[in-house]
C-alpha cells in the first residue's frame, strides 16, 4: 500500500497527502530549473567570460532541459499511478543522478553546485520524513563520493578541465570538499527529517482532533435522533433550524417541510406564550389528529454566551391528559353514583307500588265506559316500565361489575349480533351495509354476556348514526405485541358533535332524541372491568369505536 511509508490516519488521506507533496515537488523542481536557465541566459547575453556563472552556462542548460523533460513524464505518473511511493522514490533517485551529472560537468568534487544535493535531501525529508532524508543523503553521498574517488584517482577528468584547460585542484582539496559535503548532507538530512517528522506529528494530532470532532458530531446527531421527545431549534427570527425524528412524528411534518418556516406557522399557540419556559396546549395536525402537547423552551447560546435562538422540547401528553380526565370523571361519578343509587332505590319502590295499583284498577274497570281510562292506564304502566328499566340500567352502571370470564371466539359472537341487525326490517329498509373482517385467532377470555352487551350497544349506535345506504365496518385483529385483541366498529354517519366528545362516556350524555345516555358509560365500565380500553375517533363522515381487550 502507498501508506506503508507514510504514517497517516488512513490510506486515502496518505495518498492525498503524498500526491500533494509530489505535486509541490515537481513545481519546486521546475522553478529551480527555470532560475538556473534564466541565470545562464543572462550570463551568456552579458558575455562575461571568465566569470563563475559563464563557465557553467552549459550545465544550467542541461539541468533545465532534463528537468522540463522529466516533468512532462512525471505529471501523468503522479496523476494516474496507483504506486505513488515508487513514483516518489524514482523521482528522488533520478534527481540525484541529474545533480551528479551537473556537479561533474560543473567542476566535479570542487563544483559549487554540490548544494543541489541538499535540495534533494530536503525534498526527500518532506516526502518521506527522516527515513527518506537519510536515504537521499546516503544516495547523494554515494554518488558524490564515487565521483570524487574517480577524480581523485584520475580515472576521469573534470569537465571544467576539459573545457577551460584549468588544472585540477590538489587531491587534498578534493578529499576535504568531499568529506565536508557528505557531513553536510547528513546534517541536513537529520535537521530536515526532524522538522518534517514534527510537522507530521502536528498534522496527525490535528487529524485526530478532527476525527474526534466528527465522531462527536455523529454521536450528537445520533442522540438527537434517538430522543423520544420532539426537539427543534429556532433562530432569533423564530425560524425553524432543526427538527428531529420524534418532532416529525408528532407534528406530522418532515424537516424539509418546516425548515426555515416561522415556528408560529406550525405551533401558533406559542405566540401567546411569549416563549416562556413551559406551556401545554392542544395541537391539531394537518390530517385532523389532535394531540395534547407539553413544551419546554430554553435559550440556545453560542460559545461566547450570545443568544442564537431557542431550543424547544415537546412531548405528546395526550394519553396522560386522557388518564387525568378519566380519573377526574371516575372520582366525580363515584360520588354521584353512590348518591344516585340510593335515590334510585327510593324511587323504584313507589314506582312498583304505582304500577301494581294501576294494574289492579285496570282490572276493575269495565268496557266500554272505561276504554279511555284503560288507554291512559296503559300509558302509565308503559312509562313506569320504562322508568324501571332506566333505573335498572343506572344501577348496573353504579354498582360494581362482576364478570364471569370464560374463553370464547369474538368472531362467533360478532357474527351472531351482526346477523340480527342485518335481518332487522328497519335496517333492510335503510339499505345499511354491515361488513366484517377477522384477522387471525379471535379467542378472548371475558364475560361473554357483558361483551355482547357492549358490542350490541356499539353496533346499535352505528346503525342509528348511519343514514340511508350507510356502511358499518367491524374488524378484529391482534396488536403488534400480540398481547391484546382489538375490535373496531366504524360507521359512515355524521360523527359525534364536538360539544359532547369530552363527556361521551359520562352518564346521561347523548345526541339521540330518545336515548338514555347510559349505553356508552355502561360499555366503558364493562371494558374497564376487563382491564381493557374503549376509545373512539370521530370526524364528519366517520366514527370508530375501538375495544382493546387482553388475550389472557
The conformation of residue 262, written as its DSSP 8-state character, comes to B
More confident residue, 550 or 170: 550
Angle between helices 371-398 and 519-529 (to 10 degrees): 30
- pLDDT for the residue 1: 39
Candidates 113, 87, 90, 119; CA nearest to 100 is 113
Q: What span, in angstroms and rounded, lies between the C-alpha atoms of 320 and 194?
A: 68
Mean pLDDT of 31-60: 61
Candidates 24, 250, 273; CA nearest to 126 is 24
What would the pLDDT profile of 470-506 be if each residue is shown by its tens digit? 899 999 988 877 788 999 999 998 888 888 888 888 7
Cβ-proximal residues to 505 (8 Å cutoff; 6+ apart), any chain: 329, 520, 521, 524, 534
- pLDDT for the residue 312: 92
Mapping DSSP onto H, E and C, the string for 339-406 reads HHHHHHHHHHHHHHHHHHHHHHHHHHCCCCCCHHHHHHHHHHHHHHHHHHHHHHHHHHHHCCCCCCCE
Confidence category of residue 321, pLDDT binned at 50, 70, 90: confident
Which range has the worst mean pLDDT, 48-52, 318-322, 448-452?
48-52
- pLDDT for the residue 478: 86
Q: Is 469 left (phi over 0), alpha (psi -120 to 50) or beta?
A: left
More confident residue, 51 or 380: 380
Confidence category of residue 232, pLDDT binned at 50, 70, 90: very high
Asked if residues 61 and 37 have their Cβ atoms less than 8 Å apart, the reply is: yes
More confident residue, 546 or 149: 546
Average pLDDT of the chain to the nearest whole number:
77
At 401, phi and psi to the nearest 5?
-85, 130
Q: Is 274 left (phi over 0), alpha (psi -120 to 50) or beta?
A: left
Confidence category of residue 318, pLDDT binned at 50, 70, 90: confident
Q: What b/e string do you get for 93-121 counting C-beta neighbours within 10 Å, with b at 16 or more?
A: bbbbebbbbbbbbbbbbbbebbebbbbbb
What would the pLDDT profile of 105-160 be if each residue is shown by its tens digit? 777 777 777 888 888 888 888 777 788 888 888 988 898 888 888 877 777 776 55
| Alpha helix positions (H), 423-518 | 425-430, 448-465, 498-501
In degrees to the nearest 10, what's the CA dihedral of 522, 523, 525, 527? 160
Candidates 533, 481, 151; CA nearest to 322 is 533
Q: What span, in angstroms and rounded, lies between the C-alpha atoms of 70 and 161?
A: 29
Q: What span, in angstroms and rounded, lies between the C-alpha atoms of 251 and 290?
A: 10
Which domains does the chain possess? 2-209 (no CATH), 227-319 (3.30.450.20), 328-398 (1.10.287), 406-550 (3.30.565.10)
Q: Burial of 510 by CB count in 10 Å (0-12 exposed, 13-18 middle, 19+ buried)?
A: middle
Q: What span, in angstroms and rounded, lies between the C-alpha atoms of 233 and 241?
A: 5
Question: Bridge-partner residues for 537, per DSSP?
Answer: 544
Residue 528 predicted with pLDDT over 60? yes
Q: What span, in angstroms and rounded, lies between the C-alpha atoms of 240 and 311?
A: 10
Cβ-proximal residues to 430 (8 Å cutoff; 6+ apart), any chain: 466, 467, 468, 469, 470
Q: In angstroms, how far is the first alpha carbon of the chain from the final one?
A: 64
Candidates 44, 49, 75; CA nearest to 61 is 44
- pLDDT for the residue 3: 41
Strand 471-478 and strand 433-438: pairing? parallel
Mean pLDDT of 183-210: 80
User: How many CB atoms sit inside 10 A of residue 222's CB?
Assistant: 10
- pLDDT for the residue 259: 92
- pLDDT for the residue 51: 47
| pTM as predicted | 0.43
Confidence category of residue 545, pLDDT binned at 50, 70, 90: very high
Which range has the worst mean pLDDT, 160-174, 245-259, 522-536?
160-174
- pLDDT for the residue 23: 72
Share of the chain above pLDDT 90, in %: 10
Q: What span, in angstroms and rounded, lies between the C-alpha atoms of 239 and 515?
A: 51
Residue 530 predicted with pLDDT over 60? yes
- pLDDT for the residue 205: 76
Amino acid at each position: 500500500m502507498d501508506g506503508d511509508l507514510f504514517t497517516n490516519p488512513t490510506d486515502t488521506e496518505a495518498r492525498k497527502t503524498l500526491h500533494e507533496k509530489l505535486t509541490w515537488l515537481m513545481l519546486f523542481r521546475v522553478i529551480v530549473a527555470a532560475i538556473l536557465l534564466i541565470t545562464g541566459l543572462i550570463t551568456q547575453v552579458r558575455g562575461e567570460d571568465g566569470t563563475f556563472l559563464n563557465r557553467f552556462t552549459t550545465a544550467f542548460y542541461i539541468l533545465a532541459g532534463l528537468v522540463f523533460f522529466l516533468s512532462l513524464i512525471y505529471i501523468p505518473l503522479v496523476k494516474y499511478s496507483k504506486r505513488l511511493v515508487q513514483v516518489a522514490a524514482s523521482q528522488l533517485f533520478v534527481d540525484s543522478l541529474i545533480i551528479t551529472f551537473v556537479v561533474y560537468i560543473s567542476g566535479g568534487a570542487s563544483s559549487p553546485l554540490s548544494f543541489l544535493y541538499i535540495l534533494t535531501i530536503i525534498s526527500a525529508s518532506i516526502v518521506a520524513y527522516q527515513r527518506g532524508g537519510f536515504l537521499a543523503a546516503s544516495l547523494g553521498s554515494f554518488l558524490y563520493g564515487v565521483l570524487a574517488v574517480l577524480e581523485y584517482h584520475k580515472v576521469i577528468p573534470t569537465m571544467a578541465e576539459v573545457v577551460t584547460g584549468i588544472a585540477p585542484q590538489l587531491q587534498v582539496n578534493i578529499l576535504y570538499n568531499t568529506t565536508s559535503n557528505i557531513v553536510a548532507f547528513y546534517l541536513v538530512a537529520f535537521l530536515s527529517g526532524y522538522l518534517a517528522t514534527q510537522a507530521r506529528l502536528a498534522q496527525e494530532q490535528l487529524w485526530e482532533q478532527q476525527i474526534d470532532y466528527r465522531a462527536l458530531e455523529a454521536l450528537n446527531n445520533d442522540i438527537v435522533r434517538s430522543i423520544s421527545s420532539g426537539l427543534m431549534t429556532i433562530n432569533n427570527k423564530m425560524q425553524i433550524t432543526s427538527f428531529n425524528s420524534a418532532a416529525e412524528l408528532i407534528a406530522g411534518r418532515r424537516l424539509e417541510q418546516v425548515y426555515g418556516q416561522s415556528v408560529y406557522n406550525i405551533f401558533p399557540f406559542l405566540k401567546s406564550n411569549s416563549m416562556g419556559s413551559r406551556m401545554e396546549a392542544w395541537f391539531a395536525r394537518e390530517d385532523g389528529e389532535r394531540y395534547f402537547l407539553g413544551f419546554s423552551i430554553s435559550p440556545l447560546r453560542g460559545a461566547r454566551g450570545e443568544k442564537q435562538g431557542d431550543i424547544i422540547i415537546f412531548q405528546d401528553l395526550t394519553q396522560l391528559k386522557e388518564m387525568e380526565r378519566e380519573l377526574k370523571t371516575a372520582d366525580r361519578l363515584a360520588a354521584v353514583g353512590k348518591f344516585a343509587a340510593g335515590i334510585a332505590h327510593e324511587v323504584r319502590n313507589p314506582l312498583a307500588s304505582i304500577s301494581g295499583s294501576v294494574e289492579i284498577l285496570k282490572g276493575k274497570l269495565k268496557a266500554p265506559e272505561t276504554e279511555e281510562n284503560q288507554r291512559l292506564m296503559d300509558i302509565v304502566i308503559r312509562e313506569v316500565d320504562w322508568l324501571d328499566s332506566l333505573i335498572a340500567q343506572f344501577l348496573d352502571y353504579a354498582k360494581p361489575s362482576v364478570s364471569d370470564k370464560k374463553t370464547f371466539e369474538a368472531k362467533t359472537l360478532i357474527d351472531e349480533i351482526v346477523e340480527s341487525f342485518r335481518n332487522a326490517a328497519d335496517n333492510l329498509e335503510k339499505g345499511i351495509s354491515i361488513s366484517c373482517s377477522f384477522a387471525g385467532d379471535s379467542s378472548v377470555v371475558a364475560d361473554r354476556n357483558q361483551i355482547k352487551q357492549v358490542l350490541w350497544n356499539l353496533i346499535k349506535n352505528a346503525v342509528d348514526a348511519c343514514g340511508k345506504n350507510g356502511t358499518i365496518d367491524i374488524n378484529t385483529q391482534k396488536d403488534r405485541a400480540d398481547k391484546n385483541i382489538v375490535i373496531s366498529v366504524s360507521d359512515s354517519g355524521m360523527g359525534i358533535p364536538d360539544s359532547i366528545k369530552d363527556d361521551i362516556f359520562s352518564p346521561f350524555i347523548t345526541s339521540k332524541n330518545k336515548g338514555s345516555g347510559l349505553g356508552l358509560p355502561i360499555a366503558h365500565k364493562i371494558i374497564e372491568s376487563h382491564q381493557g380500553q374503549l376509545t373512539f375517533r370521530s370526524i364528519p363522515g366517520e366514527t370508530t369505536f375501538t375495544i382493546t381487550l387482553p388475550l389472557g
